[in-house]
Each structure stands twice: as C-alpha cells, then as structure tokens.
Structure 1
Amino acid sequence: MPSTNLTLMWEPQLESMERSELESLQLQRLSETVQRAYHQVPHYRNLFEENAIAPDSIQSIQDIRKLPFTVKDHFRQNYPYGMFAVPMRDIVRIHSSSGTTGKPTVVGYTRRDLDTWSTLIARLLSASNVTADDVIQIAFGYGLFTGGFGLHYGAEKVGASVIPISSGNTQKQLMIMKDYLTTALICTPSYAMFLAEAMEQAGIRREDLRLRTGLFGGEPWTDQMRRQIEERFNIHATDNYGLSEVMGPGVACECLEKKGMHINEDHFYPEIIDPVSGEVLPLGEMGELVLTTLTREALPVIRYRTRDMTRLIPEPCACGRSFLRMEKPSGRSDDMLIIRGVNVFPTQIEEVLCSIEGCEPHYKLVVDRQGSLDVLEVLVEVNEHLFFDEMKKQNALVKRIQQEIRSMVGVSATVRLVEKKTLERFEGKSKRVVDKRIQHPAQG
C-alpha cells in the first residue's frame, strides 16, 4: 500500500513545520489561551487562584506543568455553559456528550472555531488521500454527538460529495453504499464490522462496491480488527482520534503509513502523565493522554485528562509530517479493569481473539466476584463450522484462547463459545464489558 507525501497534506507548510518553529507557536498560543481562560472563565480563575498561579507566569512551554488539570467533572459542575469563554451571542453551535453517567458535558463553538474544526477534518481526510473526487458516506450519528457534523463540514471543505446518512438502518446503508458509488466510509470500527457481516449475508461482494478507503474512530480498536476490515471491504482503514471536550474528531489522525496518529500540535498541546501520580512522563512512555487547546475561542480547555492510555512517538514519519504521533489508545484509565491486581484492557482480549482462526471479532467480557476473588468470563462468537464441530475441537479452541489470554494479559479467564450473531451488535460505540462487581462487592 502506498506511502503518503506532501501532496496528501491539506496544509503542508503547517503540518511539516520545523519543531523549533512549532514550539514557538505553541508557546504563543498557550499564553493566549491561559489569559483567555483566566479572564473569561470563572472556573479557571478560581482554580488558578487556589493554586497561586498567575496567568502571566507561563514563560516557556514547560511551564504548562504548573497549571492544574481539567477533568470531566468540571464540565458537570459548570453545566451547561459555565466553561464558555465567550457570551452566548458568539456561540453558533452547541454539542454535548452522551451523558451516560450524570449530566452531559456541553461544548460550544464560535464561527472561527467551526472554521478551525473544518480545517482539522480536512487534514484528517487528506491524510487518508480523500479528495474532491470522493463520495463520502458518514455513518456517525448526526445531532448533539460531535462525530457526524464535525466530519461533515470538513468533508465539504475538501470538496468531496457527502452522504449524511447518519447511523443505523444497516440495509439502507448497504443499498446507498452500492447505488450511490460510495468511495469513503466513516463510522466506528465496530459498526464497520457489522456492515461487513450484513454485506456478506446479503450476498454483496466487495467487488460490487466502489469503496477504497475507510476512516474509523470513536472507540479503541486493534490492528487485527483493522486487517479484517481492510480484507472484507478491500480498502485502506485509518484511525482518527478526538473528544467532545477538546474539539471533537480532528485532534489526531493516521496517515497511510498507519504507524500512529499525528496530533495536530499547532492546535492541541499533548502530554503523557502517570494516571495515578499525575506526573509528566518522558517522551515515549505509556501513560494517560492530557490535552490543552491552543486555538479554541469558545471553550479553552487546559490540561484536560482524557483518561485515554497511549504513548507519544517522537521518531519522524515517512509521510513528512513533523507532528508527534500517538499510538492507538490501548484503553482508558477509568475503563481499565483491575482483575486480581492485574490491569486489563478490553483491547488486549480483542487482540488475542482476532489472532485465533475461527473466532469472530465479536465478544463480551463479564467480570464478577466469587467470594473475595475476581473472575473473568469471555464470551466469543465462533464461525458456524467450529460451533457445530465435535466437542473435542471446541475444547481445544477454548483451551487455546485461555492460554493466549493468560500469556498476554496475565490473568486466567473462563471462555465460552457462542454461536455467530448471538452477541449484541452496535451502530455506535461498542459496549463489550459488564462488570458485576458493583452488585457483588467483596465480603469481609
């Protein structure tokens, strides 16, 4: 598969700038952001004063470490508009998170913010070689979720033809994909797998489609799943990263090298911290990603703890971009399962399952407590041939999965094979973990 080059950059003069020039720009924008946050957002002014921090104390980019963290609860405490730095008359768009626990986080955009956002998405699309000649099918939800609209306007900016189909209605998705000659698909990776499964069931061959690339995000996914998506659709599959509190999609994206996601460092300053101590870790070490917005007008966000676990890659990329890359997040520090003292991320289990022939990329993890011991059960779909095969072969597969999980993750698991299409499918973000320990706390 081809490498990218300068012709596949939306803003080559910025995306490939020298580090010294970039760091100078970051400091200038960081100073402006800190001033705006202190003077326009009471939450930050109070936080700075509580920590005896003056906004003009930021004299170098390293001084960012003096600043306090922002966490999701701060958005909830200031619900709905308390984190905004501009009056409502300057807000032209409002989005919010799903709000699965407590109040949703509400985010706003000025007209300039929307233009910046569209430019970031244009970078993302260009990195995957999407151009004005493409027909893009956006199967992210349109509405308060930032994914659909965020990607939509960036796609229009590059001049592509956009099909705003939103999520759901799988049969219609396939019909439109075939009839409207879709060349680029945008959705979650789990929904892409669902579409591939439905496509095969409907007798649609990959050769019947014009698809050539897919841009997937919204949830962690493994390289094994990427290979399956690429094979089943015959496309390039690239990853992208974003979160509502910071901007939405467009914070970072893969190029066709697929060796990490380039963070748009002229708009977001990244750090990696120890999730327990909060200390900044050396470049290249695994930890929690922290992001500071550098150009956001409506909602400046300082040192936001994303809870996503990753590392930054300093080595140059063959595509020519000079921005640091981040690895695919291995999971979230707050979604991380601790089982018998071992840190376990669902993507580790997924990697094991995707590497074993016969296992489908659909699984469910059930964590419970028996007495004082944590127990992990893995439900995994297998193809029909294996499911109805003789018990000896099924037992051998179960044993292999258990051994691979123990080897990679370091915990023992009970494995249960289930028939294909038994487990729930997801049109949006997948929900593959059930932790019953909340209902069954440790005794004693």
Structure 2
Amino acid sequence: MFNRIFRAADYWSTRNIPRMTKLAPVVPSAILRARARAAFKDLMIWTASRSDYYQKRFAEAHIDPAWVGKIEHLGDFYTWPEDVQDDPLQFLCRAPGLVCETSGTTGRPKRTYFSYEEIDWLARYEACALYYCGIRSGDRVLCTFDQGFWVTGPMTEATLRHLNVFGSVVGKVPADEAYRRIQDDRYTVLLADPTWLLTLTDVASSAGNIPKLKFIMCGGDRLPERTRTYAQEVWRCPVLQGYGTTETCGFIGGECLERNGLHLDEFNLIVEIVDRDSEGFGEIVVTTLSRRVMPLIRYRTRDVARLVEGLCRCGSTIQRISPLKARRDDMVVMGAGNIYPVLLEKLVEPVAGWPKVWQAAVLQREGRDVLEFRILKNGDLHLDELRKSIEEQIRIQQPGMWANLQCAMYCIDVREVMPTQSKQPRKVSWLVDER
C-alpha cells in the first residue's frame, strides 16, 4: 500500500521539474526513510527472483529476502566492485537497453547496464538538482565531461531535455575552443572536470574577457578548494562540486549554492557510511532503489567521506555528505584519469634504463595535478629523457591519459631521491596521493 502511495506521489511530482524542485528539498526525513524502506523491501524480492548474483549471494549468506525489512538487517553483506568488474551479466534482472563503462584506465573498466526508462527517470532528479541551483528555461548549458562509454553523455542529454534548455554535450574539447564557444553560443552554465576547468580558467584569465556564467558544476574528480577559489575569482560565479559513479548511473549527490556539503539523492539511493574512523569518515556504500535492470545492493564505492550533520543553510532536509576525502583502494583519481600501480608498471616497463626501485606520487603545483616518478639518485640517469620516454609510452598505451596530457590537465615529472635504509631492491610501484 505504501509503495503505491509513494509511486503515485513520484509520478505526480516528477512530471514538472519546477514543482518537483519546490517539494523535493523539504520532504520530511521520516517520510524519506519510510519511502526508502518500502522501496528496499521491493528491491530485495526483485533481485532474489531475477539476479543470478544475488540469488547465489543470499543463499551463501543465509539471507531470506522476505524477512529483510531494513538495510541494517543485512549485517556485513556487501556487493563488491570486483564482482561487477568480473561478471556484470550475473547482476542482470531484465534485458538492458544500453551499457556504460567506468572511465578507468586499467584496461578492465566496470560495465554497468541500464534501460532507457531508468536513464530518463534518474535524469529527472538530476534536473531537479540543477534547477535548484538556478538553471531556468532560456539558459544554455555546456557539458565538457569525458564521453566514450561513460554514463555522463546519456544522463546529461536526458537531464537537459527535462530542463527544456539549450545544451551541448561535447566531451573534453580543448580549453581554448570551449572558451570561444562559450562566448559565441552564450552558454550560461558549465559542467566540467575540475582539472580541465583549471586549464579553461587560465585561458579565460589570459584573454581578459570573462563570459558571464550562472554557475559551474564540477564532477569526475575531487574539487580542490584552491581550484574552486581561483575559478570563482576569474568567472565571478559559484563553482559547485557534484559526485557520482557510473555504477550508480551518475549522480549521487551535489552541492547547492551554499557549498557546505553534497545533498544526496535520497529518493533513488540509500547511502551509508561504513567502517568509520574517529572523525566519522568511512566508505560510501550505495543501494540503488529505482533500478531494475542491474540494481546494486550495498555497493562499496571505495570512496571515503562522512555525513554532514544538521540542516543546510539552504533549508533543505536532504541528507548531506562531505566532499570526498580519499579512496580505500590503491586507485588515485587525478587529471590523468584513474591511475593504478599496475598501469604505471606497464608504462615504465619498456623505458630503457628505468631503475628497479621507484615510486609514483600525485601532487599539485600551483593548482595543477602532477604525476611525479621518484627514482633513486644515480648520476648516470638523464631525467628529462626518462620523462619524455614515459610521455611517449602514455601516447602509445593510454590514449585517454595522452589526451588529458595534451589538454594540460596534468604534467609528468621525474625526480631523483636519496636511497632509503632498505637494501633490498623491489620492483614495485608505490602510488601515493599527496594532494
């Protein structure tokens, strides 16, 4: 009965984005929790009867879906990224309409399947979030998020249709071209990767003629406060942080104009923070309530954040999380893309004269990401030649990384360091994020 009421309310409210934007931010928390519990019960029954993966996992964990009333009843049951990566087809509950992939650069991206109806439904809520930030009919939106098989393309196009605005979803074009088109086509809202935005902001600052934008929404990577401050000074508009993953069909949460936490999509997701430390930071775990092609139950994102307590100054009752603090695995998200130790090992393996002991670090200089290779001090090494060799291997092996390098979204550096106390050479690529 409750689900029928909630579905009727959803249908009525989501037909009109302005009406939806008035109602959604002030729904009482108790109603949101009741709605999520009802949807979660349906999801458990749905996956148990249709998904090979969840049928097997529930049986192994001795879970009877009919008796699971709350997500807390699942205990230590989780869906792991490696399972999605290894065999995404085992998750399917019905025939898909399209497939999207993570933007990872390991050669084994995770594939996620959707229906067109799911894309359309979730895009309504993304449209609501953007409308809440100030987009109106008559605005012009330029989306420069990476394209390919990433979910951004279909999601953004559907979102712009629901907003009834002029929009272009063009991918990661050169910054100077984007600057020219912002002027020529009079775009008023920009969706962009933070590191690409830094390059665009340099172009605009040098030109001196700054187009007027309502706001800039960033996604795909963490937004450093230094980048935000610089971009806001140049563009003279709010720069906001969004957060999402391909596995969850893009949008998980985003900042409002107050910029004091990311409001979650509590209408379509249950978001938990697990394994918290003393400061409340833990791993983000997501359950997709609205998906029926490839739903995910308690999916571990590897991203680390914490809940933000209290009401937002904007007045919304929607739960917030902090900006991402780190990742639980050994992946580092930066201007080059998603970087892993094994990827770096493959890059340096063909380089003549590359030392056995080395380390890689991601840092920032003057607001820009730097992928720095650190090698033991040796007078016979020519650092500039090694750097050029690595860049050549990036061109050969990793087209996505190469494109980002050409767009000045990061740079490569090779630096000598003094030997440590360890006398045993190890062929290992430590990868650390020092930003």
Equivalent residue in structure 2 for 1:31, among 27, 41, 60:
41
SS at match of 1:211: coil
SS at match of 2:287: strand
Question: How far has the Cα of 1:161 moved from its partner?
Answer: 0.9
1:360 aligns with 2:362: no
Aligned residues: 353
1:123-202 alignment runs, 5 A limit: 123-201=128-206
Could you tell me how far apart the structure 2 residues matched to 1:231 and 1:84 are?
47
1:371-410 alignment runs, 5 A limit: none
Could you tell me how far apart the structure 2 residues matched to 1:17 and 1:62 are?
23
Checking the alignment, whether the CA contact within 8 Å between 1:10 and 1:122 is kept in structure 2 is no
Checking the alignment, whether the CA contact within 8 Å between 2:375 and 2:414 is kept in structure 1 is no
Q: Which amino acid in 1 is paired with 2:239?
A: A
1:164-243 alignment runs, 5 A limit: 164-201=169-206, 203-206=207-210, 209-243=211-245
Equivalent residue in structure 1 for 2:125, among 100, 120, 125:
120
**Structure 1 pair 166/325, CA: closer, same or farther in 2 (3 Å)?**
same
Provide TM-score, normalisation by structure 2. 0.74
**Structure 1 pair 146/129, CA: closer, same or farther in 2 (3 Å)?**
same
1:95 aligns with 2:100: yes
Checking the alignment, whether the CA contact within 8 Å between 1:15 and 1:322 is kept in structure 2 is yes
Gaps of 5+ in 2: 1-16, 333-360, 378-403, 417-424, 431-435
SS at match of 2:366: strand
Gaps of 5+ in 1: 1-6, 275-279, 338-344, 351-358, 372-423
Checking the alignment, whether the CA contact within 8 Å between 2:145 and 2:220 is kept in structure 1 is no
Question: How far has the Cα of 1:226 moved from its partner?
Answer: 0.8
SS at match of 1:251: strand
Identity %: 21
SS at match of 1:162: strand
Deviation string 1:163-214 (CA, Å, 9 cap, x unpaired) is 222212333211111111111111101111111112334x2421xx132210
Equivalent residue in structure 2 for 1:439, among 414, 427, 430:
427
SS at match of 1:12: helix
Question: How far has the Cα of 1:21 moved from its partner?
Answer: 0.9
Equivalent residue in structure 2 for 1:83, among 72, 76, 91:
91
**Structure 1 pair 281/294, CA: closer, same or farther in 2 (3 Å)?**
farther
1:320 maps to 315
Could you tell me how far apart the structure 1 residues matched to 2:285 and 2:413 are?
25
SS at match of 1:131: coil
Provide TM-score, normalisation by structure 1. 0.72
Checking the alignment, whether the CA contact within 8 Å between 1:8 and 1:129 is kept in structure 2 is no
Checking the alignment, whether the CA contact within 8 Å between 2:119 and 2:249 is kept in structure 1 is no
Checking the alignment, whether the CA contact within 8 Å between 1:125 and 1:155 is kept in structure 2 is no
1:41 maps to 51
Checking the alignment, whether the CA contact within 8 Å between 1:190 and 1:426 is kept in structure 2 is no
Aligned Cα root-mean-square deviation (Å): 3.1
Q: Which amino acid in 2 is paired with 1:268?
A: L
**Structure 1 pair 192/238, CA: closer, same or farther in 2 (3 Å)?**
same
1:60 maps to 70
Could you tell me how far apart the structure 2 residues matched to 1:210 and 1:298 are?
41
SS at match of 2:258: coil
Could you tell me how far apart the structure 2 residues matched to 1:9 and 1:438 are?
61
Could you tell me how far apart the structure 1 residues matched to 2:153 and 2:426 are?
34
Q: Which amino acid in 1 is paired with 2:367?
A: P
Checking the alignment, whether the CA contact within 8 Å between 2:143 and 2:192 is kept in structure 1 is yes
Deviation string 1:225-251 (CA, Å, 9 cap, x unpaired) is 211111121111111111011111x21
Checking the alignment, whether the CA contact within 8 Å between 1:314 and 1:325 is kept in structure 2 is yes
Checking the alignment, whether the CA contact within 8 Å between 1:216 and 1:237 is kept in structure 2 is yes
1:261 maps to 262
Checking the alignment, whether the CA contact within 8 Å between 2:156 and 2:169 is kept in structure 1 is no
Q: Which amino acid in 2 is paired with 1:293?
A: T
SS at match of 2:109: coil
Checking the alignment, whether the CA contact within 8 Å between 2:228 and 2:239 is kept in structure 1 is yes
Deviation string 1:121-165 (CA, Å, 9 cap, x unpaired) is 102212321111211011113331112331222122111110222
Could you tell me how far apart the structure 2 residues matched to 1:12 and 1:214 are?
22
**Structure 1 pair 367/67, CA: closer, same or farther in 2 (3 Å)?**
same
Question: How far has the Cα of 1:363 moved from its partner?
Answer: 3.8
**Structure 1 pair 60/200, CA: closer, same or farther in 2 (3 Å)?**
closer
2:79 maps to 70
Which range moves more in the overlay, 209-218 or 142-151?
Answer: 142-151
Could you tell me how far apart the structure 2 residues matched to 1:205 and 1:12 are?
36
